[in-house]
């Protein structure tokens, strides 16, 4: 609360100075009309000399910008326990997503736990689990787009650390050797794009059998099933694969609203972020024991990936490591230009340097969800 008091003091101080300036200008304006220009100029110089003297008596020796930066840095080391978010109320607009300054998006979120993960105690804000972070970099799947630059891990590291900490997962800090890590979290993000099919295969003269016998079918099928797993998790991907091969996707889509939205989302390109938690001791023995996987994605059409990625991570804060069936969360695509400060809770933790990172991704038409890191499918 001391930091919040400092912010209030600085803001009040600046507003007070602005009021003094307005008073000075008003006094000069009145003197010009009632007296003469010489008196007005004298008053102006007197006020100008008094303002710096008065400012030196305030309890803000640093500059305004420096004070805000220092306090914001301290607030960045404080976390608030994550709460289950709720979707924003649907807002009607005539503008398409690409033309809207801050459109509403439906974020698909799912967390799958393995049997090994369910055996562990559930971490909480007060009883956290400590982890080592490992970036797998950006990995794009499907057709690539010219002019798209990879997003480095450093860009999302701060938001990832804060969101995970709010749900009981804290990065190991060098200053706290007593906090022994038990998990390794792997991060991968990117675009999962559709692939462009030759127009002749989309012609009505081509039968479904001819389409499935074409050389494009295996790649198209793998692209769709991989995106189904990225968006809805392994269980949904299995259901989607059966419906896709059995040609009853419409029946699967009509099962319920969430499933219908998932089936629809698979047909479009998307942005995604996947966090995979593995047991640290098992990795030391060259065994890969997956504990949980959290996936969050949203359609990419008309949306700036770099701008919405921190929002994606923030939206997933409550769901990291918390078993959750697929659900959709409607939120704005970008952060609003304002600062919302909640009730701060100080913890004995300072974000340190995470594990070794890799910030270079590859653009590939890979058949797998992530050609760099293939985690075992959750049971």
For the segment 235-267, what is each residue's pLDDT rounded down to a tens digit? 999 999 999 999 899 999 999 999 999 999 999
Of all residues in the chain, the percent with pLDDT exceeding 90 is 51
pLDDT of residue 163: 95
Decide the pairing of beta strands 169-171 and 129-141.
Answer: parallel
Q: Which residues of 31-41 are buried (b: 16+ CB within 10 A; e: fewer)?
A: beeeeeeeebe
pLDDT value at 109 more than 80: yes
pLDDT of residue 202: 77
pLDDT tens digit string along 190-219? 999 999 988 888 777 888 888 888 999 999
Task: Categorize the per-residue pLDDT at 311 as very low, low, confident or very high, splitting at 50, 70 and 90.
Answer: very high
pLDDT of residue 205: 80
pLDDT of residue 254: 95
The region of weakest confidence among 104-118, 200-214, 313-327, 357-371 is 357-371
pLDDT of residue 204: 76
pLDDT value at 50 more than 70: no
Task: Categorize the per-residue pLDDT at 96 as very low, low, confident or very high, splitting at 50, 70 and 90.
Answer: confident
The Cα 141–Cα 124 span in angstroms is 34
pLDDT of residue 79: 66
Does residue 115 or residue 98 have the better pLDDT? Answer: 115
Which residue has tokens 């799912």?
110
Sign of the Cα pseudo-torsion (295, 300, 304, 308, in order): negative
pLDDT value at 23 more than 90: no
pLDDT tens digit string along 274-297? 999 999 999 999 999 999 999 999
The Cα 194–Cα 100 span in angstroms is 23
Whether 195 and 142 have beta carbons less than 8 Å apart is answered as: yes
pLDDT of residue 26: 52
pLDDT of residue 268: 94
Whether 315 and 297 have beta carbons less than 8 Å apart is answered as: no
Task: Categorize the per-residue pLDDT at 59 as very low, low, confident or very high, splitting at 50, 70 and 90.
Answer: very low
Which stretch of DSSP H or E encloses residue 141? strand 129-141
* Mean pLDDT of the region 158-175: 89
Whether 13 and 68 have beta carbons less than 8 Å apart is answered as: no
pLDDT of residue 376: 42
Identify the DSSP state of 316: T
Of all residues in the chain, the percent with pLDDT exceeding 70 is 66
Closest CA to 190 of 96, 330, 312, 333: 312
pLDDT of residue 174: 65
Q: Which two tokens stand for residue 268?
A: 């479009």
pLDDT of residue 250: 93
pLDDT of residue 37: 57
pLDDT of residue 157: 94
The region of weakest confidence among 102-111, 130-139, 205-214, 302-311 is 205-214
pLDDT of residue 2: 40
CB count within 10 Å of CB 129 equals 22
pLDDT value at 1 more than 50: no
């Amino acid at each position: 609360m001391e930091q919040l008091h400092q912010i209030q003091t600085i803001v009040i101080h600046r507003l007070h100075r602005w009021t003094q300036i307005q008073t000075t200008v008003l006094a000069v304006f009145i003197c010009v009309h009632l007296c003469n220009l010489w008196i007005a100029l004298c008053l102006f110089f007197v006020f100008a000399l008094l303002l710096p003297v008065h400012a030196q008596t305030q309890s803000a020796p640093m500059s305004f910008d420096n004070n805000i930066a220092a306090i914001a840095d301290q607030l960045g080391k404080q976390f608030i326990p994550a709460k289950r978010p709720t979707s924003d109320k649907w807002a009607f607009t005539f503008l398409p997503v690409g033309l809207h300054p801050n459109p509403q998006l439906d974020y698909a979120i799912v967390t799958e736990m393995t049997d090994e993960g369910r055996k562990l105690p559930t971490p909480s804000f007060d009883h956290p689990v400590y982890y080592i972070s490992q970036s797998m970099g950006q990995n794009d799947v499907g057709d690539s787009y010219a002019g798209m630059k990879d997003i480095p891990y450093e860009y999302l590291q701060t938001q990832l650390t804060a969101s995970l900490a709010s749900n009981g997962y804290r990065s190991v800090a060098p200053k706290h050797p007593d906090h022994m890590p038990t998990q390794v979290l792997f991060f991968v993000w990117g675009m999962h794009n559709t692939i462009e099919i030759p127009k002749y295969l989309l012609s009505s003269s081509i039968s479904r059998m001819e389409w499935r016998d074409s050389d494009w079918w295996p790649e198209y099928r793998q692209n769709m099933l991989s995106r189904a797993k990225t968006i809805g998790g392994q269980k949904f991907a299995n259901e989607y694969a059966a419906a896709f091969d059995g040609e009853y996707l419409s029946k699967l889509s009509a099962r319920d609203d969430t499933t219908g939205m998932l089936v629809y989302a698979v047909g479009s390109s998307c942005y995604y972020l996947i966090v995979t938690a593995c047991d640290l001791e098992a990795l030391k023995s060259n065994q890969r024991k997956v504990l949980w996987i959290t996936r969050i994605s949203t359609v990419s059409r008309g949306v700036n990936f770099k701008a919405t990625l921190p929002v994606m991570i923030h939206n997933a804060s409550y769901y990291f490591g918390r078993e959750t069936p697929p659900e959709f969360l409607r939120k704005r695509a970008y952060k609003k230009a304002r600062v919302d400060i909640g009730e701060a809770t100080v913890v004995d933790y300072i974000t340190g340097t995470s594990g070794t990172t890799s910030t270079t991704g590859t653009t590939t038409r890979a058949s797998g969800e992530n050609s760099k890191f293939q985690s075992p499918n959750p049971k």
